[in-house]
Structure 1
Amino acid sequence: MSRRRPVARASAILSALVASAGVALHHSTSELPAVLVLATFALWAWAFAFVALLAALRARSVVLTVIAVALVGAGIVQYGPLVVPDRSVDDDEGIAVRVLAQNLEFGRADPVEVVRAVREGGVDLLLTVETTPEAVDGLRAAGLVEVLPHEASDPGPQAAGVAVWSRYPLSAPERVPGFSLGVLRTTMAGPAGPVTVVAAHPVAPVFDASAAVEEADRLRWYLGGLPGPAPVVVGGDFNATWDHVRFRGLRGLGYTDSVSGGGDGWVPTWPVGGRIPAVIGIDHVLARGAVAVGETSTVRVGATDHRGVLATVRLPAARAP
């Protein structure tokens, strides 16, 4: 038994180092490309804290056990908001609007399956990114307009297009400048009044780290400057997870993402369709000025490497005049 302790001690030390890196990445504001990419996987790195704890107990090391317990506790603080729902809101409070955010992967997503997901999910508002002109035509031909008759789209080649489809009337689309992949704004005449809707697709750090930081900051500035008191619903491929500090910074502007709002836990959305299962959640639905947002799930659509994110946004009821 004593011979196993050095191995357990080494395992505890190595695992604690990996977990510590995960905790550090979660809080990092670095603009270094490697740090931005690694932060995407901070949750997985932190999970080694449990390995460290088991190994420390096996090694019978008080110091290593304390360190491992501290790392586990740090992760509970970091990821607790993802599993603790807001109990201050009744499930039936507000007017429910079902929102689906879907990356179409260069417009190749199967339009029939997109429409099926909309029908089966009772979707009232669909936000798509990487929306090509061909994808728009395909969705129309597949019958999307029969379910969501109102459209505000700005399609583009490859990954540059964005679009919003709604059960309720939409204003003309407004493409927000300064984003290489596309951010689109429109106003929905919702069931209880106007709602600002934004489809967002900031660039990924793996392609251009400096642009990713710049666009994340620009998106935060833009969303923070949207006027109230009308609610705001935002959805799309943010190319960022809960572990990216700039994405979490949207909370300080009053935005709640559906996963933390509903306590829905770990909701991975990418990659899909290959040998590797979805391991990170970079697609999101957020809301500001809503009664609640949550009930997050994902949908699988053929010919795209992203799962769609389906969530319920509960809008405040119209006030009596």
Structure 2
Amino acid sequence: MVDIRERRTKRRGTTFLLVVAAIAFVLAALTRLLGIDGTRHMVATTALTPYLTAAGVVLAVLALLLRRWAVGTVTSLLAVVLVAAVAPRAFPDSRPVGVGRDVTVMSANLLVGKAEAEAVVAAVKAHRVDVLAVQELTPAMVRDFERAGLDDVLPYRHFLDEPGGSGSGIASRYPLSPRTLTPPSTLRQAGALVDLPGEEDLEVVSVHPLPPVVEAGPESWQRDLAGLPERELDEPVRVLAGDFNATLDHVGLRRLLSSGYVDAADEVGAGLHPTWPSGGALWPPPVAIDHVLVDGRCPVDSFAVVDVPGSDHRAVVSRFVVPAR
């Protein structure tokens, strides 16, 4: 009789733990699936969707093995939906045929000017970068870039450097002219029209919305993301490159993709490669918040993440084709 009671107690305890875990998973899954960016904690949870998806699969299998059918069924259904949303990022999409000019764009968050300018310039040379978008650009960092020889490879620039983390800029191999492509934002987001050889032009925005996890909440982040320009067919090809402080699971970024952009990493099967924090840190869990969003008319050939000593972000580099007019 004692053994039976002990087994029942253990069974109830196991069921309780599974139910608690299932409730947590269901709430996190619904936050992502319903596109709820309500509080900074919910936004942070959504950023962890790939990890939560893996945890949900494990939880579903465990519940089914233990014959907790209700828990197993609910978690299985939600896990399958999340897998369908997340797994394709690890596989390349079919590349459309495109004729035009190859362009390579790189974006780097410089951690309030602490990044090593020599490393950034070395990456620009190694990847034959045509356009560089930078965030958290300080006046001291501009001087570091000059000493490191950035002007030798990217002689044209539009820099909005400021002390602290609000500055940004664009440097280019080709002539450029400043353009106001976003409404006033919490952090500076430089925009420019790059005059490519031939008839093609390229609009570029150095993206950097305020992080959503600040104590004030995600309202500024949501407003900054909403202010990013949508793709327009009657305008030059447009690229949004930078630190979005958002993953492909956040509704603000998904809204931009639905307007006609493609995520370069997702296109080539690198959509799960994390960009922050760099350096192999396990906490917070690494996530992909730096992106190159390319006009959907541009076939994407490659995407890479690059370590930048001194910064807590990895740089992102993408090569794509700007179609001939």
TM-score tier, shorter chain, comes to 0.7 to 0.9
- Structure 2 match to 1:111: 117
- Counterpart of 2:224 in structure 1 is 215
Are residue 147 (structure 1) and residue 153 (structure 2) matched? yes
1:72-103 per-residue CA deviation (whole Å, 9 max, x = no partner) reads: 2111222144234321525x854321211100
Q: Deviations over 1:208-227 (max 9, x none)?
A: 322122222222xxx12767
Q: Please report how far the alpha carbon of residue 46 of structure 1 lies from its aligned counterpart in structure 2 after TM superposition.
A: 2.7
- Give the conservation status (yes or no) of the 8 Å contact 2:231–2:295: no
CA distance in 1, matches of 2:179, 2:142: 14
Who is 1:182 aligned against? 188
Of the three residues 292, 299, 306, the one matched with 1:299 is 306
Residue 136 of structure 1 is matched in structure 2 by: 142
Identical amino acids, percent of aligned pairs:
30
Structure 2 residue 31 is matched with structure 1 residue 25:
yes
Q: State the TM-score, normalized to the length of structure 1.
A: 0.88
Q: Aligned-pair RMSD on alpha carbons?
A: 2.5
Uncovered stretches (5+) of structure 1, i.e. residues with no partner: none
Q: Distance in 2 between matches of 1:260 and 1:198?
A: 19
Deviation at 1:52, TM superposition (A): 0.9
**Residue 112 of structure 1, CA deviation:** 0.5
**Distance in 1 (alpha carbons) for counterparts of 2:75 and 2:36:** 24
Q: Distance in 2 between matches of 1:45 and 1:71?
A: 11
- State the alpha-carbon separation in 2 of the partners of residues 267 and 286 from structure 1: 15
- 2:167 maps to 161
Residue 157 of structure 1 aligns to a residue in which SS? coil
1: distance between equivalents of 2:252 and 2:222? 8
CA contact (8 A) 1:8 1:56 kept: no
Instruction: Provide the aligned length of Structure 1 versus Structure 2.
Output: 313
**Greater gyration radius:** 2
Contact persistence 1:183–1:200 (CA under 8 A): yes
TM-fit CA distance, 1:241? 1.0
2:127 to 114, 121, 126: 121
Is 203-212 or 15-24 further displaced after alignment? Answer: 15-24
> 1:107 offset after TM fit, Å?
1.0
User: Which residue, out of 255, 265, 269, partners 2:261?
Assistant: 255
Alignment of 1:9-48 (within 5 A): 9-26=15-32, 27-48=34-55
The one-letter amino acid paired with 2:223 is E
Residues 226 and 160 from structure 1, CA distance in 2 versus in 1: closer, same or farther, beyond 3 angstroms? farther
The equivalent of 2:272 in structure 1 is: 266
Alignment match, 2:89: 82
Shift of 1:237: 0.7
| Deviation (angstroms), 1:16 | 2.7
Structure 2: 5+ residue stretches without partners = none
Whether the 8 Å CA contact 1:229–1:289 is kept in 2: the answer is no
Partner of 2:205: 198
TM-score w.r.t. structure 2 length? 0.87
1:12 CA displacement: 3.9
Amino acid at match of 2:74: I
Indicate the larger mover: 271-280 or 261-270. Answer: 271-280
Q: State the match for 2:79 in structure 1.
A: 72
